[in-house]
Chains A and B, each alone.
Chain A
């Protein structure tokens, strides 16, 4: 029972960060119908940014989120303007290949600049934990979960309540109709890619105290992001949040009850099953 609760709690905590990655991917897909294969690499950029803010300037990784979010937003916006914007109308395969190429450029540039050595960001609280009724809760994971909840809440508020947020949602719902209503869909696309990148970068910042930082760290998270968004339903933000938490829990349960070597196989099997049985995902509306 303790094992069950323990893995449930750590699953939910890491699931919060996964949700953030998934939300970023799903917003980009929703607005542009582009599957961003560079998502994990954008996250990797966020991780390195956090690492250098910490080692060079001594800024705590959780505080540095305040810097990472705007920086990554600008990074994503520029990337959209320079590259993604040019291929919005082309074949889905070409869009995928372009983002794969961008991801390769990011990860290999990181390798060029920082070599493929693993970097570890050690804070004073990296390995400390709270104890609660026989359960131990990792301190950095708990803090990152709280920040995730706060950021997700702000994002919800932004998308639901503000004019810009509604314009983004309208663009996601029907690009042409939104354009006819006088929404600047090009600007919305830049915004969406910026927000998506900021979310991925933030996720990178939040897990950097508990994860190795290296140039290829992205590809594992890109795959995870797909699993999360497909599970929740491509384009659905609620779905991505739910998907993130579910995948977090499945992973930690798989590691506890099957074996940590095989946990990713469990995740990918669920992914294939969802694709085959309900490709629209938990929250998605079916689309042909």
Chain B
């Protein structure tokens, strides 16, 4: 089996790699300081989001070899958990103020009332817990199955979750989805952030989560846990015969992956401020999560980063209709002609097309992903030189 992970596994990183990593992180931290354009910041946030999703899936799919095509369930758990609690908390807060007015002079009753005050950001934790619980349930059902049957079962469970959220409209507002107008203030490092319009808070939250997922992946890769995961991926019967508990380690990998994915869902929910079952729980989302790692290169730390770097700009060019408009503006295509109409009207609908084309190309021509492909070329060059 051709898995790049095992070949390139190293205990420590070279000093050069560490310096490069720190330099890139420093650049990323400084980025919002000298780039004011909201669109550029938006693209960066999308890149971070894709990277978080890809890294999270990579732990169960890339390192443990269990291709879950139902990760939208965990993403949705994070997104719904966050916004449901946030809405409820804001509601409580309003009620609290009302009651405070009534009981103005009694400090005691105000104190009693504040016991009911639910912090709006606890939803993120609720989402993580929901994803964790869900992953344990899904794991206990699906890990009895192997290969393609596991893939099918993971899809089926995610679909059950989606339909349930769609129909439990008392809690989730069903197909209408949940919309929030304002985000409650957040306290990070002693600073209270209330202004989200600059996108800067999202930028740093996203960057922080990216670093967190990379750290978790690095820890997994360089620990016993990670070796067990990879042993299961390479040959689960052999791993089993060596005394590695398949159920325990597969479930651990899924749980880590699910909790991180739920964070991606929470991040998406507070950034977009609107969620519904089609955007955060659909099969399409599950597939996109898988493809980020596959296109970049599975079972490697930077594979999902590369995948996000390839996918996000390409699909954004299609989505924002930049391609169609620039063709029209440059005078190459007459905007009133059928072709011009077609380009401006339809192209933006089909931004997922790029995912399809890329995955077919990757599977056929570079089964180790873009990162694996680049490494191969570099290795060949090195061989040629020596």
Which residues of A are at the interface with B, using a C-beta cutoff of 8 A? Answer: 35, 83, 86-87, 90-94, 96-98, 100-105, 108-109, 111-113, 115-116, 216, 219, 223, 226-227, 230, 261-262, 264-265, 268-269, 271-272, 275-276, 279
Assess whether B364 is interfacial by the CB under 8 Å rule: yes
Of B152, B283, B356, which one neighbours A230 at CB under 8 angstroms? B152
User: B350–A97 contact, CB under 8 A?
Assistant: no
Residues 349-363 of B, flagged 1 when their CB comes within 8 A of A and 0 if not, give 110110111111001
Residues in B lying within 8 Å of A, measured CB to CB: 1, 65, 67, 69, 141, 144-145, 147-149, 151-153, 155-157, 159-160, 163-164, 166-167, 283-284, 287, 290-291, 294, 345-347, 349-350, 352-353, 355-360, 363-364, 367
Q: Are A101 and B360 in contact (CB under 8 A)?
A: yes
CB distance from B76 to the nearest CB of A (A): 16
Contacts of B367 in A (CB 8 A): 90, 94
Whether A109 and B147, one on each chain, are in contact in the complex, defined by CB atoms closer than 8 angstroms, is: no
Name the residue of chain B whose CB is nearest to the CB of A103.
B356
Chain A's closest residue to B144 (CB) is A276
Q: Please tell me which one of the listed residues A97, A219, A265 contacts residue B363 in the complex, with CB atoms under 8 A apart.
A: A97
| B-chain residues with CB within 8 Å of residue A262 when the two chains form the complex | 163, 167
Q: How far is the CA of A35 from the CA of B149 in the complex (A)?
A: 10
CA distance A96 to B166 in the complex (A): 27
Collect the chain A residues with CB atoms within 8 Å of residue B345's CB.
Answer: 115
Residue with the greatest number of chain A CB neighbours at <10 A, chosen from B163, B356, B358, B363:
B363
User: A87 to chain B: which residues have CB within 8 Å?
Assistant: 363-364
In the complex, which residues of chain B have a beta carbon less than 8 angstroms from the beta carbon of A219?
283-284
Cβ distance B158 to chain A, nearest Cβ, rounded Å: 10
Please tell me if the beta carbons of B353 and A92 are within 8 angstroms of each other in the complex: no
Is the Cβ of B350 less than 8 Å from the Cβ of A109? Answer: yes
> Between A and B, how many residue pairs show CB distances below 8 Å?
120
A110 CB → nearest B CB, Å: 9
Given A90-B367, A111-B349; 12 other pairs, CB 8 A cutoff: A96-B151, A101-B355, A101-B356, A101-B358, A101-B360, A101-B363, A105-B357, A116-B349, A265-B163, A271-B152, A272-B157, A275-B153
B239 to chain A, nearest CB (A): 17
CA distance A94 to B365 in the complex (A): 12
CB of A104 within 8 A of CB of B156, answer: no
Distance to closest chain B CB from A11 (angstroms): 19
Other-chain residue from A86, A93, A96, A279 in contact with B364 (beta carbon distance below 8 A): A86
Chain B proximity of A177: nearest CB distance (Å) = 23
Q: Identify the interface centre among B145, B157, B355, B356: most chain A CB within 10 Å of its CB.
A: B356
- The closest CB in chain B to the CB of A109 belongs to B353
B163 and A101 contact, CB distance less than 8 A = no
Complexed CA–CA distance, A10 and B287 (Å) = 33
Q: Do B159 and A98 touch (CB < 8 A)? A: no
Does B163 contact A93, Cβ atoms closer than 8 Å?
Answer: no
Roughly how many angstroms separate A108 CA and B315 CA in the complex, as a whole number? 12
Does the CB pair B352–A83 fall under 8 Å? no
Write out the residue numbers on chain A whose beta carbons fall within 8 Å of the beta carbon of B358. 101
Residues on the A chain within 8 Å of B347, using CB = 112
- Inter-chain contact A92/B147, CB cutoff 8 Å: yes
CB contacts (< 8 Å) of B69 on chain A: these are 96, 100
Please tell me which one of the listed residues A98, A109, A264, A276 contacts residue B360 in the complex, with CB atoms under 8 A apart: A98
Q: Within 8 Å CB of A271, what residues of B?
A: 152, 156
Closest 10 CB pairs of A and B: A104-B356, A101-B359, A108-B353, A105-B356, A101-B360, A112-B350, A108-B350, A98-B363, A268-B156, A261-B167
